[in-house]
Structure 1
């Protein structure tokens, strides 16, 4: 059965990859991002290949009022939203105390405060409908505090994971489901210039793993599950001096 699925940050990377996977499965899409021209190109491709509906809106998730406006508009146009994927985020942090407060503030605001706005807008709609599926794209970096350029990013994703768990706890006995995704190293155009990372996978492989976990409505999923599930367990118990070598 087809669903109406909203994805933020859908113009590139994992958002774009998930849009392709969901369209191939026959789901209707509500895609939003700042780069609308990229969204238009993606819509043209998806509608040429699949019998689905694709609605687009421009959205900077740091414009919180606009988040509510766009989510409500998509609901009115499509009739309902079955799933909202809080995907928009940034990952290029800086070392703490090196004169980059504004940069790290933007990382925290985009990945956590803007995500809160998206969750508020989505759950408001789901409460009115009496059903829905909220998906938050966190990160394996949320498992531990990390040094160097990863500090602000990891902290923002840890906050996002706790936000998801709190919402899940409140809605546990309702028809509203909450999924937290913890992606490992997935190579996309956003990190294409970075050094090769251990256990990294390409964007298509990563997107497919994420969509499988979403469709299964898992509560929390490391993606891909192997090797990130055991790595996540290991990260939790490693001494901090070993974690300090990371980054």
Structure 2
């Protein structure tokens, strides 16, 4: 297995992004962390460097919907660390509303952030990987991407289905090369995005982050997070009748 020493994580200021950063830092990896909230990034970077003095941690303020900034920040990370070995596209939101409820703004923002901005990040990462003929792209999709979902999750599920398909296309395009691609499909994991969700199968933030990092380190092409119960449930989800699917929220 190739050691991926220098790792970019977007959406790293909280939730799963922060959790992954802490675990990779404990493994001795250098980190390039990006998010909109720089004060939280700076605090996290300070904690990680104090706990693991041998690593480098660089941070940048980044709104992934500013596509020019995505390219410039990734280039800056590449220059600061000398090279980039792995890019984790983690930044995303889940603020959709039922279609036709007058909240086109929320649904548009969800699609733009989770899909179009992910495309910008993938483009920026692959430019670097193609130039050095190596690298590992990780795309965080969602279990919700498996089907069209009702209510508040319609636009979210569509955006995550789009990003999963995007990642699969990149996987096919780079197949047989030293450039690897991993698509992650998390189920319910405790985070700011799932705050208030009372799902019986929701995993703790710690378990979620550990499952993500384990799948990333194995460089699996596609992984459900955590594997149990979401891998077996994916088989059920694909064939769930619409009458039952509409009850899934």
> For this structure pair, what is the TM-score category when the shorter chain's length is used for normalisation?
over 0.9
CA distance in 2, matches of 1:205, 1:92: 24
**Secondary structure of the corresponding residue to residue 183 of structure 2:** strand
Q: Which residue of 1 aligns with 2:38?
A: 36
CA distance in 2, matches of 1:24, 1:164: 28
Q: Which residue of 1 aligns with 2:190?
A: 187
Uncovered stretches (5+) of structure 2, i.e. residues with no partner: none
CA distance in 2, matches of 1:11, 1:151: 26
**Secondary structure of the corresponding residue to residue 232 of structure 2:** helix
Q: Which residue of 2 aligns with 1:142?
A: 145
Q: 1:167 aligns with which of 164, 167, 170?
A: 170
**Residue 70 of structure 2 corresponds to residue 67 of structure 1:** yes
**Secondary structure of the corresponding residue to residue 187 of structure 1:** coil
What is the Cα deviation at residue 2 of structure 1? 6.0
**Residue 128 of structure 2 corresponds to residue 130 of structure 1:** no
Q: Which residue of 1 aligns with 2:179?
A: 176
- Normalised to the residue count of structure 2, the TM-score between the two structures is 0.97
CA distance in 2, matches of 1:218, 1:240: 31
What is the Cα deviation at residue 195 of structure 1? 3.0
Q: 2:83 aligns with which of 69, 80, 84?
A: 80
CA distance in 1, matches of 2:99, 2:170: 30
- Normalised to the residue count of structure 1, the TM-score between the two structures is 0.98
Question: What does 1:4-23 align with in structure 2 at a 5 Å threshold?
Answer: 4-23=6-25
CA distance in 1, matches of 2:197, 2:156: 18
Q: Which residue of 2 aligns with 1:151?
A: 154
Q: Which residue of 2 aligns with 1:55?
A: 58
Question: What does 1:223-234 align with in structure 2 at a 5 Å threshold?
Answer: 223-234=225-236
**Residue 113 of structure 2 corresponds to residue 115 of structure 1:** no
Does the CA-based 8 Å contact 2:8-2:87 persist in structure 1? yes
Per-residue deviation, residues 104-154 of structure 1 (Å, max 9, x unmatched): 000000000000000000001000011000000000000000000000000
Query: C-alpha root-mean-square deviation of aligned residues, in Å?
Result: 0.8
Q: Deviating runs (4+, > 2 A) in structure 1?
A: 189-192
What is the Cα deviation at residue 159 of structure 1? 0.2
Per-residue deviation, residues 195-247 of structure 1 (Å, max 9, x unmatched): 31121111111000000000000000001000100111110011111101111
CA distance in 1, matches of 2:219, 2:248: 32
CA distance in 2, matches of 1:133, 1:198: 33
Uncovered stretches (5+) of structure 1, i.e. residues with no partner: none
Does the CA-based 8 Å contact 1:2-1:26 persist in structure 2? no
CA distance in 1, matches of 2:197, 2:172: 38
**Secondary structure of the corresponding residue to residue 193 of structure 2:** helix
Q: How many residues are paired up?
A: 246
**Residue 207 of structure 2 corresponds to residue 205 of structure 1:** yes
Mean Cα deviation higher: 216-225 or 237-246: 237-246
